[in-house]
Amino acid sequence: DAKTTQPPSMDCAEGRAANLPCNHSTISGNEYVYWYRQIHSQGPQYIIHGLKNNETNEMASLIITEDRKSSTLILPHATLRDTAVYYCIVRQGTTGTASKLTFGTGTRLQVTL
């Protein structure tokens, strides 16, 4: 699986958009970009994933660059409950295998009043 690079920490004011970047320059054609978050001492929570197109769900938006070498997770209106460690992961999408989900070091997002 391709490695990812994320900033170790970011701050965001409550109510503002939080934009979390991720570099995955060695991503291959069949690898998906996944985002998870982990609130202190809880299990990781799935946020969103995508292959090449931008994706949006009720939690967030995922913007993937055209060359697929980087992506940005957008939380449109951050709240204090969004304070967590956010992990960007690339994962093989081939069927017929139970593929690994390998976590990098993540970005610690602190949302403040």
Partner 1 sequence: DTEVTQTPKHLVMGMTNKKSLKCEQHMGHRAMYWYKQKAKKPPELMFVYSYEKLSINESVPSRFSPECPNSSLLNLHLHALQPEDSALYLCASSQYGGSTEAFFGQGTRLTVV
Which residues sit at the interface with partner 1, rule CB under 8 A?
31-32, 34, 41-46, 49, 51, 85, 87, 91-106
* Least distance in angstroms from the C-beta of 16 to partner 1: 26
Give the nearer residue to partner 1 in terms of CB position, either 94 or 113. 94
Cα–Cα distance, 45 to 81 (Å, whole number): 13
* Least distance in angstroms from the C-beta of 14 to partner 1: 25
* Least distance in angstroms from the C-beta of 91 to partner 1: 5
Please say whether the beta carbons of 54 and 61 come within 8 A: yes
Strand order of the β-sheet with 61-64 is 18-23, 70-75, 61-64, 55-56
* Least distance in angstroms from the C-beta of 11 to partner 1: 18
Q: Output the six-digit token pair for 52.
A: 């090449």
Residues 6+ away with beta carbon under 8 Å from 49: 32, 33, 34, 35, 55, 62, 91
Give the nearer residue to partner 1 in terms of CB position, either 88 or 111. 88
Give the nearer residue to partner 1 in terms of CB position, either 16 or 52. 52
Give the nearer residue to partner 1 in terms of CB position, either 4 or 70. 4
